[in-house]
Amino acid sequence: MKRKTVIHQVIILTLHLSATVLISACTAPTLSQFEVQRPSRITMPREVKKVFIREDLIADNNDKLGIKSQVLQELAKVLNSMGRFKVSVVRSLDEKQIEAEKETVAVIQGEVISGGEVDRGQFTDLATCTGGIGGRISSAAAAAITEEAVTLDNWRGYVCRRGAFASDVTELALSSAFAMAGLGEALPPKNQVVRIYKYKNLSLFAQSNFSFTIIGLERETLAIRADSANFGRSITEKGSYRNIKESHLISLTLGSLISSIRIPIFPIPSRELAVAKRSNPRQFFYNKKPLPVPGIQDLPEKEKNQLIQQLVNKTLMSFIRTISPYKVKVNAEVATGGKAGTVNLLKEGKAEKVREIIEAIPEDERDSADWYNLGLAYEASAVSPEDYEDARRFYITALEKKPGTKIYAQGVGRTRSYLAERRTLAKQIQK
């Protein structure tokens, strides 16, 4: 009786917890993703509007991949998209023509370094070979789906592949399907093959060393950055696979009797042959010369161009964020209600319009949702630390009007955290 009572209580508790989780999931707030603007890591003088990227002062002596032009064009494109500066790439600049009394400009100079290596070698693996109609088809299909290299053994033409968890599961499913279709004959013993194949390790890297110099009544270098990115990939030459040792499981009894024979007259089922002891990864097949720089022949041209574009973007990211406001995406909840009715405008990314609408309402007439959404609008369109200070102040006002509101507190915490990080960064820069 007691046992039934305990079971009954457990069932009730489980149902209660399930209902609670379901209700929580249904009532969970919907977060919107905002593209908010972060101010540059170093505060640039507001009078700096024009930036010239000096092509003649950016060295490319060690630019083995020839990406200098792509780096400079991408740098100008991204900086212009941020809206803080008007940036242009110039071959030269006559500083005498700059009227320091009327305008202050900035010059970017430095160097671009890039390169890579192709390391070639050979290795061996242990492959399992499957026979039978269904076995051959399922093994070959699994290899094709998971892009495995297959070979055929010389004894009975079994399909040989190394096997991985995904391909093994695929083969099992296919074998079951073939068995249901009537193709599941008794499979013959599996063979094991030691295979040798060629590979190449490809590596690419890029580095940009840039300085940001302001030219006006005084000349000052505010930012010097050295940023780098790299990419590595191992490429197997599938066409190079070939069998070098085979183990034919003819008869376990016969095999146990002759496995100790040193010079067998026919293949034997010794598992020692199935261990890749003949692997010789140091047997390189390139000449004793410096490792070649990767070319189009080492990667498909489209893929190589995509990789270089990624390297360019990564090597520029930190420098750009040092000198210019930049955008990142954050998840936040928009406050419903309020007199301004700006929920949809915020979700559409029209932060400037939201600021205009809410600031037109007298401060003593704004409710907590208005103050919070105003802070969200300031955070989304921030171009300086002062904008974040204002956003934090508006979040605090919303929280004071309606204490305990979770999203208001989150806004305060988010901006406070960012401003604290910025103060830490400022101290590091001063050192």
Q: How confident is the model at residue 168 (pLDDT cuts 50, 70, 90)?
A: low
Domain boundary among 274, 298, 322: 298
Kindly state whether residues 293 and 350 are assigned to the same domain.
no
| 260 and 339 housed in the same domain | no
Q: Is residue 18 part of a domain?
A: no
Establish if 19 belongs to a structural domain: no
Stated pTM of the model: 0.60
Q: What would the mean pLDDT of 56-62 be, rounded to a whole number?
A: 95
Indicate whether 339 and 289 sit together in one domain. no
Residue 177 maps to a domain: yes
**Domain boundaries, position 238:** 118-201+234-298
Q: What is residue 233's predicted lDDT score, i.e. its pLDDT?
A: 81
Whether the per-residue pLDDT at 241 is higher than 60: the answer is yes
Least confident of 202-211, 275-284, 328-337: 275-284
Confidence at residue 55, expressed as pLDDT on a 0 to 100 scale: 94
Q: Are residues 278 and 353 in the same domain?
A: no
- The CATH code of the domain that includes 366 is 1.25.40
**Residues 276 and 422 occupy one common structural domain:** no
Q: What is the pLDDT of residue 416?
A: 87
Check whether residue 392 and residue 248 sit in a common domain: no
pLDDT band at 28 (very low <50, low <70, confident <90, very high): very low
Is there a single domain that holds both residue 176 and residue 290?
Answer: yes
Number of domains within the chain = 2
Whether residues 403 and 285 share a domain: the answer is no
User: Of residues 226 and 274, which shows the higher confidence score?
Assistant: 226
Domain identity same for 190 and 273 = yes
Summarize the confidence of residues 375-385 as an average pLDDT. Answer: 83
Q: What is the pLDDT of residues 70-127, one digit of tens each?
A: 999 999 999 998 888 999 999 998 877 787 778 899 999 999 999 988 887 888 888 8
Do residues 170 and 241 share a domain? yes
- Tell me, yes or no, whether 346 and 403 share the same domain: yes
Measured distance CA(44)–CA(388) in Å, rounded: 17
